[in-house]
Amino acid sequence: MPKHPSFEEFLSVIYHPGIQNQASFYAWEDSKNPYYVWEVIYCCAKHQMPLPDWVLDYLANCASRMMSDEAKQSHDVRKALPSILGFPTKKGPGNLLDPASDEPEEIPTFALRFAIELERGHTPIRAMRNATVVLPASEAERDEKTLWTWLKKYYGLTNVSRITAAEWKFVARAHHTHFYHFILEKFSEINS
């Protein structure tokens, strides 16, 4: 039976390149922002890792769009490249090249700690407050509305006002389960 990591050990494993790439994949699936694909390309190049198949598929699609008749007819590379790279054509809020610029980078850790606090039997409000210990002091003092917005966005929810503790647990478990076995595997590799 594998040793289960402490929360601190768990956090150290989260920064493993394979886990970072998996997180980028899920962000790509959720947002379709090519920024996350390029995070993986950068990480793989930096750590001399092979590119995952989904990244190769993305690059093949980029190459196809680059060699298309539509791209060849374009005389303005600045206008053609966003489409070739797969960026959305309509503008929305935020910066597509810095999608997390308006949020602290600790939000995934905050959300994970929130899930752990729920599993410890705390109410959602107490779990959310307890989870702020992983945020920098300036972020931990945020109002509840902001903290709930971060959790809602992280877990892909539209409304959190009527979600019970049991429903929060279900959402958090579903979200984190796909990482759990992968993280345990990496933890075992690192500690063997």
Per-residue pLDDT tens over the stretch 57-99: 999 999 999 999 998 898 888 888 989 998 877 665 566 666 6
More confident residue, 163 or 37: 37
3 state SS of 82: helix
| Residue where one domain finishes, among candidates 52, 85, 118 | 85
Q: Are residues 124 and 79 in the same domain?
A: no
Q: Are residues 14 and 49 in the same domain?
A: yes
Q: Compute the distance between CA of residue 166 and CA of residue 123 in angstroms, rounded to an integer.
A: 9
Q: Report if residue 163 sits inside a domain.
A: yes
- The range of the structural domain enclosing residue 162 comes to 107-190
pLDDT band at 187 (very low <50, low <70, confident <90, very high): low
CB-count exposure of residue 168 (10 Å: 0-12, 13-18, 19+): buried
pLDDT band at 190 (very low <50, low <70, confident <90, very high): low
- Nearest CA to 94 out of 22, 153, 144 is that of 153
Q: Are residues 69 and 112 in the same domain?
A: no
Q: Report if residue 42 sits inside a domain.
A: yes
Q: Are residues 80 and 15 in the same domain?
A: yes
Q: Are residues 80 and 152 in the same domain?
A: no
Residue 192: the pLDDT is 60
Residue 172 has pLDDT above 80, yes or no: yes
Q: Report if residue 98 sits inside a domain.
A: no
Q: Report if residue 81 sits inside a domain.
A: yes
For 104, phi then psi, to 5°, come to -65, 145
Q: Compute the distance between CA of residue 81 and CA of residue 74 in angstroms, rounded to an integer.
A: 10
Place of tokens 């999608």: 99
> How many domains does the structure of the chain reveal?
2
More confident residue, 166 or 50: 50
More confident residue, 8 or 172: 172
Q: Are residues 68 and 128 in the same domain?
A: no
| Cα 65 to chain centroid, rounded | 27
Q: Are residues 114 and 183 in the same domain?
A: yes
Taking residues 33-62, report their average pLDDT. Answer: 94
Residue 186 has pLDDT above 80, yes or no: no
pLDDT band at 170 (very low <50, low <70, confident <90, very high): confident
Residue 152 has pLDDT above 50, yes or no: yes
Q: Are residues 20 and 71 in the same domain?
A: yes
| Residue where one domain finishes, among candidates 54, 85, 116 | 85
Q: What angle do CA 23, 24, 26 make, to 5 degrees?
A: 65
Q: How far, in Å, are 19, 48, 171, 186, 188 from residue 192 at the CA level? A: 18, 22, 32, 10, 6
